[in-house]
A = this chain, B = another copy of it.
């Protein structure tokens, strides 16, 4: 695994506000951790999650919260025991008597990096003391399939079967079933109404989830959090508005989308002006549901939307597994000013339960600070965080790596809390959120 003691360099003259933020986070650590404990007690964290962050120096914000995270293979092996303990707690909390876990992965069998992730997840759960098997939803799979991985390990995919109200493989029908499949293709019939504990619940699949809802909850969460530690909410909250319905193919709703883009650009410009930030605002337009970087555009003027050619519109019209795009999320773009040897580096933070268990940088050459790093076909090099995100060091500067990682862990948990509130909301029992 590529790994180095160095962490990416934050290449911006505009570090002031962020240093201030990081210092605030450090100074208010006890209050922050205590607040998180209360919040996650009120609204339990999803089983796991990863959060993509952008660090602009003057702003630190999440851009994507994935509740079916891949990439566990990119975490640093030295931090593995954190994941093992967290997994034990997370499984025990929902299923105290579980002896085993059935993992249901995505159906892609050619993406060996994804399958390395499944293998890493399996190993984490096995180390936590569970029997683990992989139950695949691949329709044509009739017998166990062994996949040799680049790491030298082998992963065995078995066809998932249903017996009564339980799913499993062979004679293995455990209490806990872990989804590592974001259900972009919809809710699989075989999982409907099972009596086992499905982690996370199917309602969190992208077929049912909207990014705009997530960011609305994130805005509530950061409003309370900003009050708690007395910061400007803008520092951690990207402006996010929904826009739709839009049909790129027959060009309905394009005008409204251009207006929404304009609105976000203007608001951002106003903030930049009043805070002496000499950057050009940009906006990310992406499908409100779906994942995998499909149907995403980075634009810096309403004309970019109005002047889309047919090919660009076709691209925006389809997302993973053919889910039809109808509503868009129009979101303030946050610059990526972290670089590693001139390559753009985007941090991704991983959590199991409410605990941060590590992270890595997507280090990408040949991309600019405004591009989307999680695009299809894009290649990145993972750079594991060598330090945990839970041990800030007061004796170092606020932007020293243990402290920067702590800040990443805090922002990632704010996004996780937003997801937890999204879940509670969908069940109709969303508690109030208070700063104290």
Least Cβ–Cβ distance between A384 and chain B, in angstroms: 14
Interface size of A by Cβ–Cβ distance < 8 Å? 35
Least Cβ–Cβ distance between A414 and chain B, in angstroms: 15
Interface bits A116-130 vs B (CB < 8 Å: 1, else 0): 000000000011111
CB pair A82 B82 closer than 8 Å: yes
CB pair A85 B355 closer than 8 Å: yes
Closest residue to A355 on the B side, CB-wise?
B85
CB pair B128 A33 closer than 8 Å: yes
Q: Which residues of B contact A38 (CB under 8 A)?
A: 97
The stretch of A73-81, A245-253, A280-288, A370-378 in contact with B is A73-81
Q: Which residues of B contact A41 (CB under 8 A)?
A: 92, 96
A30 within 8 A of B: yes
Q: Which residues of B contact A32 (CB under 8 A)?
A: 129
Q: In the complex, A96 Cα to B38 Cα: how many Å?
A: 8
A232 within 8 A of B: no
CB pair B82 A33 closer than 8 Å: no
Q: Number of copies of this chain in the oligomer?
A: 2
CB pair B34 A99 closer than 8 Å: yes
CB pair B390 A127 closer than 8 Å: yes
CB pair A89 B92 closer than 8 Å: no
Q: In the complex, A80 Cα to B391 Cα: how many Å?
A: 8
CB pair A82 B80 closer than 8 Å: no
Closest residue to A92 on the B side, CB-wise?
B37
Interface residues of A (CB under 8 A from B): 29-30, 32-34, 36-38, 41, 78-82, 84-86, 88-89, 92, 96-97, 99-100, 126-131, 355, 388, 390-392
